[in-house]
């Protein structure tokens, strides 16, 4: 058999094989998919124009028949609330800045005074959502107790202030032994984020006010300032 006959025979066998049939099927499928995709997505697609026309007419009709007055009122209330919250945050920041700028550091502060300020802070800021209500002398929240513990170490005294009913109000700091000044481990947060007790402590720290340890352990009942709502 000549070379030419061998080539023709091989081509005939290949064209008659299942492999060629499979490739033709795949090519036809791809061409069909491309045509369908062009019908929907190509520039000036007739199908796309039909869908666009019907969708626009339906949506415009629905929008014309919709009453937006209630939505506008809700949006206005939302904007007012956002402005109110932003103003409150800015006022709080300005107050903190004013307190910082006008702070007159005392010569010294006793640990009993620190504990007293912490107690007042807890009484005004404790989360009452999980507190029990007592009715002995009229309805009031059971705020539990707050504690102060001071542990002496080689270089400093560690102060722990804890709230029994709301551990989110727990505070810790250290008093250096060599100069009796406050050290708050964490870096200074923004004026907007810091609470009033920590803000006062940071002023004490920044001005290196001397701390006198007159009490190392203390405990007091928390008289919650917030009153329970009447439940009729």
In this predicted model, what pLDDT tens digit does every residue of 100-117 receive, in sequence order?
A: 667 788 999 999 999 999
Q: What is the pLDDT of residue 41?
A: 67
In the structure encoding, which two tokens stand for residue 42, read together? Answer: 């190509």
**What does the H/E/C string look like for 139-183?**
CEECCCEEEEEEEECCCEEEEEEEECCCHHHCEEEEEECCCCEEE
The secondary structure of residue 178, as a DSSP letter, is T
Q: 0.75 cut: is pTM over it?
A: no
Assess whether pLDDT exceeds 50 at residue 155. Answer: yes
pLDDT tens, residue by residue, 60-75: 666 666 655 554 455 5
DSSP letter assigned to residue 131: P
pLDDT at position 232 over 50: no
Q: Which of 17-26, 93-102, 199-208 shows the lowest mean pLDDT across its residues?
A: 93-102
Judge whether residue 156 has pLDDT over 50: yes
Q: What is the pLDDT of residue 220?
A: 96
Q: What pLDDT is attached to residue 213?
A: 93
- In 102-195, where does DSSP find H-type helix? 111-125
Nearest C-alpha neighbor of 199 from the set 91, 87, 95, 90: 95
Cβ-based neighbours of 155, under 8 Å, separated by 6 or more: 176, 177, 178
Cβ 158 vs Cβ 172: under 8 Å? yes
Beta strand pairing call for 145-152 and 210-212: unpaired
């Amino acid at each position: 058999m000549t070379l030419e006959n061998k080539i023709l025979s091989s081509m005939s066998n290949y064209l008659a094989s299942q492999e060629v049939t499979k490739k033709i099927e795949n090519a036809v499928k791809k061409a069909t998919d491309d045509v369908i995709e062009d019908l929907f997505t190509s520039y000036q697609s007739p199908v796309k124009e039909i869908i666009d026309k019907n969708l626009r007419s339906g949506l415009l009709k629905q929008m014309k028949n919709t009453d937006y007055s209630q939505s506008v009122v809700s949006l206005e209330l939302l904007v007012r609330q956002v402005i109110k919250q932003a103003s409150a945050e800015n006022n709080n920041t300005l107050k903190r800045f004013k307190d910082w700028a006008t702070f007159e550091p005392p010569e010294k502060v006793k640990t009993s005074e620190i504990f007293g300020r912490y107690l007042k802070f807890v009484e005004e800021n404790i989360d009452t959502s999980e507190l029990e209500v007592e009715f002995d002398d009229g309805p009031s929240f059971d705020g539990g107790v707050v504690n102060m513990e001071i542990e002496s170490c080689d270089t400093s005294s560690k102060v722990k202030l804890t709230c029994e009913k709301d551990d989110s109000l727990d505070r810790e700091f250290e008093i250096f032994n060599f100069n009796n000044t406050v050290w708050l481990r964490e870096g200074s947060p923004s004026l907007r984020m810091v609470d009033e007790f920590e803000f006062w402590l940071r002023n004490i720290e920044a001005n290196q006010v001397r701390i006198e340890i007159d009490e190392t352990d203390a405990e007091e009942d928390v008289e919650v300032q917030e009153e329970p709502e009447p439940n009729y």
